[in-house]
């Protein structure tokens, strides 16, 4: 949608512009997405610490949901009621920063070190045209989970290290042939999730969806090869949504599954042995996983920029960032904290920490959410054999080029 979202709700903005918008002067407003009871409790503790340091800055908190939070933020910017400090998903930032509604952070001496201590791949989503607009806050990635009991029936032991896609195919196809479980899970049509499962296959065989200047390159041979392998997995696996495949692995019905750290608590009492490995590469390429990220930004039109900066410095302070990340089972963006003993000593923590060194985020383009929908639609067509991998990637290229010509 690019810059258009600022005008998509212009009528509502006009209607509200002359009204009392319910904004209490002198109160810093912060919106975030950690609304589950335990998460809310951790956030309350963090905010209580800020109140002790800065009792002169009252904070009003708004909890958003991932289902409609982005829309609510867009409405807020159009009606001039957006929060002073806001959390954004990594794939949203470009749309907001390109629209000119976020405060530039280049000259903010309190915040710039946060960028300097974050992984290189996490910087681009928080930038636009060479300038900083959103601070990397929390990160997470996905790895391959392996059911050792199923692997033992195939290999005679529980050792498994998938060095490439051929090894993954061999293990999963043999498990599938036993008839006791599916070899692997294939994420099918699943909004905002399918692309996160497909992109690592593209990156891990040397493919790219965009070139260095942002032009679509969907129909590269490497990308076609990635989609062909992704579809071929149907021969030795089960296609379902992420949620259902998570459930299947926990029940011991999948040999391998590509998932995230949210699965770890559910596997603590699993009635089978399991472990994780890094996402495998192909044709000599290093395996690259998908990295998700939470970012914090300041409203460019906030009347409390000074207070917002103080709050942003506090909540991204390394010790505070680490404490909150540990509580919500994610990683802090500060690379120095990612080797904290909590992560190294927890089950499979060393694998997740290592995978974060070989992970990537979505391309930084304002139209990303529309392109994401195109990617998921074309991958789904290939999975359902409505198009060949070649046809699907060619169509993805054509449709993306058309979308990129629009504002």
Q: Which fold has domain 141-290+364-404?
A: D-Maltodextrin-Binding Protein; domain 2 (3.40.190)
Where does 2-140+291-360 sit in CATH, by number?
3.40.190.10
Joined together, the tokens standing for residue 29 give 């407003």
What pLDDT was estimated at residue 344? 83
Joined together, the tokens standing for residue 391 give 């046809």
Please state the domain extents for the chain: 2-140+291-360, 141-290+364-404
Measured CA to CA, the distance from residue 377 to residue 387 in angstroms comes to 11
Q: Where are the alpha helices (DSSP H) in 63-193?
A: 69-78, 93-97, 112-116, 148-155, 165-178
CB-based burial, 251-272: b 16+ in 10 Å, e otherwise = ebbbbbbbbbbebbeebeeeee
Give me the residues paired with residue 88 across strands.
Answer: 295
In the predicted model, residues of the chain with pLDDT beneath 70 are 1-22, 155-163
What pLDDT was estimated at residue 365? 87
Task: Give me the DSSP letters along 229-293.
Answer: HHHHGGGGEEEE-HHHHHHHHHTT-EEEEEEEGGGTGGGTT-SS-EEEEPPPBSTTPPP-EEEEE
Are 290 and 199 within 8 A, CB to CB? yes
Same fold, 2-140+291-360 and 141-290+364-404: yes
What pLDDT was estimated at residue 364? 87
SS3 85: strand
Pairing outcome for strands 274-277 and 134-147: antiparallel
Report the candidate in 140, 281, 139, 252 with the shortest Cα–Cα distance to residue 185: 252
Task: Give me the DSSP letters along 13-77.
Answer: HHHHHTS---PPTT-EEEEES--SHHHHHHHHHHHHHHHHH-TTS-EEEEE--TTTHHHHHHHHH
Give me the residues paired with residue 30 across strands.
Answer: 61, 85
What pLDDT was estimated at residue 272? 95
H-helix or E-strand spanning residue 320 = helix 318-327
């Amino acid at each position: 949608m690019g810059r258009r979202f600022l005008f998509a709700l212009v009528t509502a903005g006009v209607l509200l512009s002359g009204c009392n918008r319910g904004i209490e002067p002198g109160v810093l407003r912060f919106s975030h997405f950690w609304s589950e009871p335990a998460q809310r409790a951790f956030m309350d503790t963090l905010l209580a610490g800020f109140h002790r340091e800065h009792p002169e800055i009252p904070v009003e908190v708004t909890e958003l949901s991932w289902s409609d939070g982005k829309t609510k933020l867009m409405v807020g910017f159009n009606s001039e009621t957006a929060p002073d400090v806001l959390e954004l998903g990594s794939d949203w930032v470009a749309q907001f920063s390109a629209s000119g509604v976020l405060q530039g952070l280049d000259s903010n001496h309190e915040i710039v070190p946060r960028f300097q201590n974050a992984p290189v791949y996490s910087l681009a989503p928080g930038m636009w045209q060479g300038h900083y607009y959103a601070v990397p806050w929390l990160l997470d990635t996905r790895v391959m989970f392996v059911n050792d009991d199923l692997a033992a029936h195939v290999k005679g032991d529980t050792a498994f290290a998938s060095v490439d896609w051929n090894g993954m195919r061999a293990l999963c196809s043999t498990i599938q042939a036993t008839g006791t479980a599916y070899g692997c899970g294939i994420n099918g049509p699943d909004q905002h999730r399918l692309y996160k499962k497909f992109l690592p296959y593209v990156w891990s065989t040397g493919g790219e969806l965009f070139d260095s200047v942002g032009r679509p390159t969907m129909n590269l041979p490497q990308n076609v090869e990635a989609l062909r392998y992704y579809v071929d997995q149907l021969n030795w696996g089960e296609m379902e949504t992420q949620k259902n495949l998570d459930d299947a692995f926990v029940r011991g019905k999948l040999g391998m599954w590509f998932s995230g750290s949210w699965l770890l608590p559910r596997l603590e009492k699993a009635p089978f042995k399991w472990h994780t490995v890094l996402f495998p590469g192909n044709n000599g390429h290093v395996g690259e996983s998908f990295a998700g990220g939470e970012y914090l930004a300041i409203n460019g039109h906030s009347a409390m920029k000074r207070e917002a900066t103080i709050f942003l410095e506090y909540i991204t302070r390394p010790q505070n960032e680490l404490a909150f990340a540990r509580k919500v089972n994610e990683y802090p963006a500060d690379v120095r904290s990612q080797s904290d003993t909590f992560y190294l000593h927890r089950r499979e923590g060393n694998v997740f920490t290592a995978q974060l060194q070989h992970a990537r985020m979505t391309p930084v383009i304002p139209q990303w959410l529309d392109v994401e929908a195109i990617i998921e639609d074309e991958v789904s067509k290939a999975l359902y054999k409505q198009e060949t991998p070649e046809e699907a990637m060619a169509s993805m290229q054509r449709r993306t080029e058309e979308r990129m010509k629009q504002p």
